[in-house]
Chain A
Amino acid sequence: MLNKIRNLNYLLIFLVILISFIGAAGLYSAAGGSYNPWASRHLIRLVFFIFLAIILALINIKFIYQFAYIFFILSLLLLLSVELIGVFGKGATRWINVFGFSIQPSELIKISIILSLARFYHDLKFDEIKRIKNLFFPILILFLPFALVVIQPDLGTALSIAMLGIIILFASGIRIWKFMLGFFVLILSIPLSLNYLQPYQKDRIFSFLNPEADALGRGYQLIQSKIALGSGGLTGKGFLEGSQSYLQYLPEKQTDFIFTLIGEEFGFIGTMFIILLFLILISVCFYISIKSNHIFGRILSIGVGSNLFIYVIMNISMVSGLMPVVGIPLPLVSYGGSAMLAIIISLGLVLNAELNGNLKKLHNA
């Protein structure tokens, strides 16, 4: 046990804390120089989740391995219940109350997808991967949550699930042509699934696909976001010196648009520093993956690292105008419990994979 604690990857933990602290600074500024309402809660959550992640890192990886499918089914049920509340209640929702905590199941489902695919490919002998019938299960695991998230409609999450699936399937060694086939099936399923949607659901999706048509003008939001980033220049306007008057008009300045605030106050140096920290964090995940001697640990680490990558790239592309605004937070920096929980917990799993990296066969051991 003590040995395990000593062998924890402290670089990874340090990176998580550092990025979260930068997030807290941004939230402090977004609140007009106040710990309330965001920065203080952000830090409390950080402490709590890190503690949770370390506990997760110390338990036997076999438990995690055995729990993978159950976790997937539980997450899927949560997601489904959100869907039902959305149908029977008023309008769309992404939140569900579990033991008094408001949770976004679409964040949890991504971890459960990673775990399930990791277990599936771990159980499979390498020469079985090429069989067509063994493509069915992974596609099912990807498609169910994907479909549920699409009709929420949460296009950002749907897109990130699709990307995550593609990356994991690629990483697990599927032959390229099958991989391409699966990819096309996924693409084709989008217009097909659209046919089964209610008109109002379609409207919601198209309003996401075509944000310029939005009444409040998401395009306008984007212009303001770019102005905030651009006016930061090389060194930024200084901490708490960001011109709040623009950010006043960014409705999600504490969540999805926190990166613009940091860009305005700390400039290009600040944004590059954050990107560098994320790159190191993702590299650590990949390093752990390569080091791992079992497929479960490998896929898990690659999956978690890729998940992190998808968040970061989508968020920054979104606020810098490389892709439409779809509502993806910047991990560990944006305010919001569910995403932070999902990210830190999944990194806890990576820590675990590293500590248990030398197991040969999980199910026989």
Chain B
Amino acid sequence: MFYSDDKKQYSILNRRTFLLYLLKVSFFGIVGWRLYDIQIKNSQKYKTLSKNNQIDVEIIYPLRGKIYDANNNVLASNIKVFDVYIIPENTENINKSLNELNQIIKINFSDRRKIIELSTKVKKFEKIKVLENINWSQLEQIESNKLNIEGIFISQDYMRTYQFDDVVSHIIGYTNKPNREEVELPFIANMPNLEIGKDGIEKSFNPNLIGKSGQREIEVNSYGRVIREISRQDSKKGNDIQITIDLRIQKYALNLLKDHKAGSAVLMDINNGNVLCMASTPSYNPNKIIQKPNKEYWDSLLENELSPLTYRCIQGLYAPGSTFKMVVAIAGIVHGIIDTNTKHFCSGKISLGDRLYHCWKNNGHGLMNVSDAIKESCDVFFYEISKKIGIDKIARVAEDFGLGKIYDVPLPNQKKGIIPSRDWKKKKYDESWYPGETLISAIGQGFVLTNPLQLAVMTSIIASNGKYVKPNIIKQNNDIEFKKLEKYENAIKIIKSSMFKVVNESKGTAYNSRSTSAPFAGKTGTSQVRRITVAERESEDFRKKEVEWKKRDHALFVGYMPVENPRYAVSVVIEHGGSGASTAAPIAKEIFQFTKNLEI
């Protein structure tokens, strides 16, 4: 009953409140004193520390993913390389060290002067690169002499390497330092010294191949010397990529092409659209681009008028010539303009308006049906039927067969080509279409332009009886089923039997290239690169004459193998190769025979 009275309670509470308040004020005092200690008394010390102490983030670069061919051959990987550095503070006499090193590996005089000059400018503990990418025997010599050479230090790095030099260079591309715009790309993020893919698969798959950077937080003092590592997060290697190219076929085809100045060969698996070979000549060696200095090699590539950097399979645009006739014939059949009995007489030329349109055979082929017209590649027959079909219908069929399109394959800078139509000409030239242009287009000349991959796709669609085959260059595990263009099935059957005759019956334009070990069907094409004058045409032997290389016709061949249940489709284009029959068809034959022997 002592504290029953409120007054007493309040006086106790007041006393305690006051005590608590004193306690709090004194705590504030302690904190205030502490801040005084840090901010006033020791401020100078912390100010110096703030200038000296810095944290640097060092990036750990990821290892780039490898690229494999269809049979797991490595096409692109990374090799360890060794660079030699010198650290000025570790040697009493930098000149002496360089002299000693020079006895093992020659360092040219101007480089040496640069190194010595640099050593006077940079901080004493900073490493200076002396030699790049030294070979094993040099490494061994330096390692064994290292104790004698002061300040020398060998560092390991990775360099991209391509195992097959120029064989797959166009598909794979190469890596190099990013340019100013590429530095902004999201996958480069914080890796300014990263080499990125500049062309081909290396470019398209940059985000996959690059991987993820790691980082190391290091504390450095005001001179930049590393004091300690604070944290470390390792980098993550990029993903590997497997492409559908079969190195054996690719090599074989490229060797065949190398007999000619420029050309390309594409081989596709019809069943899944896998591109097995996409060779283009002339080619380049990506290793020579990667190894610095590369200026000389780079300049030689740019100066070469055949432009080796151009990937002819997807960037070379050619008038398809007679290889386009299948499309025209199919358009004629599906639109009911011709059937197998429709015949036209070829006298070697027809006239339309005030112009003459010539067949390649001056004397004419005589009476032709569609089958003969394809087999013997009669131009007049196609002039006649194209008049009735009209350019727009031909264009629509051509597009159904994959021409005039850019495919969804990860190869940069595909060229679309041209499949002309009335609308197209109106848009492009603001001119109306002339009937004569239909005739020229019907034999794959004039405005019509295609690339070799498109021709291979066209041939695949024909060979598969109208399946909408899409090209594919990245190996996929799941089966692909293409939808079928039913409306063309009958027309395609007629055309396929004609294509068989082209190669396997006498008078067929490619009869000389027929194969007993790997029978195939196909179509030759010879596309003009200039206008033939009347005078030339009238001279009997103008085709046999040696003409300047640049003025010669392009030689083309498209085909499929085997004849029954075809599996492979090919397109061969030899620039200024003369004629499709003499130059392109034999190459196609060799590729087919080689592929068949592989028994994939």
Which of A125, A233, A290 touches B39 (beta carbons < 8 Å)?
A233
Q: Once the chains are docked, how many angstroms separate the CA of A234 from the CA of B46?
A: 12
Any A CB within 8 A of the CB of B194: no
Q: Once the chains are docked, how many angstroms separate the CA of A217 from the CA of B5?
A: 57
Interface-forming stretch among B19-27, B181-189, B263-271? B19-27
Given contacts A167-B20, A173-B9, A230-B49, contact A275 B28 (CB under 8 A): yes
Any B CB within 8 A of the CB of A289: yes
User: Shortest Cβ distance from B31 into chain A, in angstroms?
Assistant: 5
Q: List A281-323 residues whose CB lies under 8 Å from chain B.
A: 282-283, 286, 289-290, 295, 298, 302, 306, 309, 313, 316-317, 320-322
Task: Please state if A215 and B20 are interface contacts (CB–CB under 8 Å).
Answer: no
Q: Once the chains are docked, how many angstroms separate the CA of A167 from the CA of B27?
A: 14
Any B CB within 8 A of the CB of A271: yes
Any A CB within 8 A of the CB of B230: yes
Instruction: Specify the main secondary structure of chain B where it touches its partner.
Output: helix
B54 neighbours in A (Cβ, 8 Å): 245
Q: Once the chains are docked, how many angstroms separate the CA of A283 from the CA of B1?
A: 33
Q: Once the chains are docked, how many angstroms separate the CA of A300 from the CA of B550?
A: 99
As a 0/1 sequence over residues 100 to 140 of chain A, the CB contacts with chain B under 8 angstroms (1 = contact) are: 00000000000000000000000001110110000000000
Any B CB within 8 A of the CB of A58: no
Any B CB within 8 A of the CB of A216: yes
Task: Please state if B6 and A234 are interface contacts (CB–CB under 8 Å).
Answer: no
Given contacts A227-B49, A233-B47, contact A268 B39 (CB under 8 A): yes
Given contacts A126-B4, A229-B35, contact A290 B14 (CB under 8 A): yes
As a 0/1 sequence over residues 33 to 54 of chain B, the CB contacts with chain A under 8 angstroms (1 = contact) are: 0111011101101110110011
Q: Once the chains are docked, how many angstroms separate the CA of A251 from the CA of B36?
A: 25
Q: Once the chains are docked, how many angstroms separate the CA of A98 from the CA of B425?
A: 66
Any A CB within 8 A of the CB of B109: no
Q: Once the chains are docked, how many angstroms separate the CA of A246 from the CA of B219?
A: 11
B13 neighbours in A (Cβ, 8 Å): 171-173, 295, 298
Q: List B116-147 residues whose CB lies under 8 Å from chain A.
A: none
User: Shortest Cβ distance from A165 into chain B, in angstroms?
Assistant: 13
Given contacts A170-B20, A245-B54, A286-B17, contact A313 B31 (CB under 8 A): yes
Instruction: Specify the main secondary structure of chain A where it touches its partner.
Output: helix
User: Shortest Cβ distance from A350 into chain B, in angstroms?
Assistant: 14
Q: Once the chains are docked, how many angstroms separate the CA of A167 from the CA of B21?
A: 11
A272 neighbours in B (Cβ, 8 Å): 32, 35
Task: Please state if A286 and B21 are interface contacts (CB–CB under 8 Å).
Answer: yes
A233 neighbours in B (Cβ, 8 Å): 39-40, 43, 47
Q: List A156-202 residues whose CB lies under 8 Å from chain B.
A: 167, 170-173
A249 neighbours in B (Cβ, 8 Å): 55, 217
Any A CB within 8 A of the CB of B302: no
Task: Please state if A226 and B46 are interface contacts (CB–CB under 8 Å).
Answer: yes
Q: Once the chains are docked, how many angstroms separate the CA of A216 from the CA of B42?
A: 26
Q: Which residue of B lies closest to A286 (CB)?
A: B21
B43 neighbours in A (Cβ, 8 Å): 230-234
Any A CB within 8 A of the CB of B231: yes
Any A CB within 8 A of the CB of B3: yes
Q: Once the chains are docked, how many angstroms separate the CA of A263 from the CA of B9?
A: 43
Any B CB within 8 A of the CB of A279: yes
Q: Once the chains are docked, how many angstroms separate the CA of A298 from the CA of B10?
A: 10
Task: Please state if A320 and B1 are interface contacts (CB–CB under 8 Å).
Answer: no
Interface residues on A, range: 35 or more
Task: Please state if A228 and B50 are interface contacts (CB–CB under 8 Å).
Answer: yes
Q: Once the chains are docked, how many angstroms separate the CA of A283 from the CA of B17?
A: 11
Task: Please state if A322 and B6 are interface contacts (CB–CB under 8 Å).
Answer: no
Any A CB within 8 A of the CB of B393: no
Task: Please state if A267 and B24 are interface contacts (CB–CB under 8 Å).
Answer: no
Any A CB within 8 A of the CB of B107: no
B40 neighbours in A (Cβ, 8 Å): 233-234, 268
Task: Please state if B28 and A279 are interface contacts (CB–CB under 8 Å).
Answer: yes
Task: Please state if A282 and B24 are interface contacts (CB–CB under 8 Å).
Answer: yes
Given contacts A268-B40, A271-B35, contact A230 B47 (CB under 8 A): yes
A228 neighbours in B (Cβ, 8 Å): 50
Given contacts A229-B38, A246-B50, contact A127 B2 (CB under 8 A): yes
Q: List A224-282 residues whose CB lies under 8 Å from chain B.
A: 224, 226-234, 243, 245-246, 248-249, 263, 267-268, 271-272, 275, 278-279, 282
Q: Once the chains are docked, how many angstroms separate the CA of A217 from the CA of B231?
A: 9
As a 0/1 sequence over residues 219 to 238 of chain B, the CB contacts with chain A under 8 angstroms (1 = contact) are: 00000000000110000000
Task: Please state if A171 and B34 are interface contacts (CB–CB under 8 Å).
Answer: no
Given contacts A286-B17, A309-B24, contact A229 B31 (CB under 8 A): no
Q: Once the chains are docked, how many angstroms separate the CA of A216 from the CA of B217?
A: 10
Most A CB atoms within 10 A — which of B17, B20, B24, B49?
Answer: B24
A127 neighbours in B (Cβ, 8 Å): 1-4
Given contacts A170-B20, A226-B46, A286-B21, contact A320 B34 (CB under 8 A): yes
Any B CB within 8 A of the CB of A10: no
Task: Please state if B39 and A263 are interface contacts (CB–CB under 8 Å).
Answer: yes
Any B CB within 8 A of the CB of A67: no
B34 neighbours in A (Cβ, 8 Å): 316-317, 320-322
Any A CB within 8 A of the CB of B16: yes
A223 neighbours in B (Cβ, 8 Å): 53
User: Shortest Cβ distance from A226 into chain B, in angstroms?
Assistant: 6
Task: Please state if A229 and B39 are interface contacts (CB–CB under 8 Å).
Answer: yes
Task: Please state if A220 and B47 are interface contacts (CB–CB under 8 Å).
Answer: no
Given contacts A227-B46, A229-B39, A298-B13, contact A279 B25 (CB under 8 A): yes
Any A CB within 8 A of the CB of B480: no
Q: List A315-342 residues whose CB lies under 8 Å from chain B.
A: 316-317, 320-322
Any A CB within 8 A of the CB of B367: no
Any A CB within 8 A of the CB of B12: yes
Task: Please state if A268 and B47 are interface contacts (CB–CB under 8 Å).
Answer: no
A306 neighbours in B (Cβ, 8 Å): 20, 24
Any A CB within 8 A of the CB of B8: yes
B6 neighbours in A (Cβ, 8 Å): 126
Other A-B contacts than A233-B43, A320-B31, A320-B34, 16 sampled, CB-CB below 8 A, are A126-B6, A126-B9, A127-B2, A171-B13, A171-B17, A216-B231, A224-B53, A227-B49, A229-B35, A268-B35, A268-B40, A272-B35, A295-B13, A298-B17, A309-B24, A321-B34
Going nearest first, the 5 A-B pairs with the smallest beta carbon separation are A230-B46, A231-B50, A268-B39, A126-B9, A233-B43
26 pairs across A/B with beta carbons < 8 Å? Answer: A126-B4, A126-B6, A126-B9, A127-B2, A170-B16, A171-B20, A223-B53, A226-B46, A227-B50, A227-B53, A228-B50, A230-B47, A231-B49, A233-B39, A233-B40, A245-B55, A268-B35, A268-B39, A272-B32, A272-B35, A290-B17, A295-B9, A298-B13, A302-B17, A306-B24, A316-B35
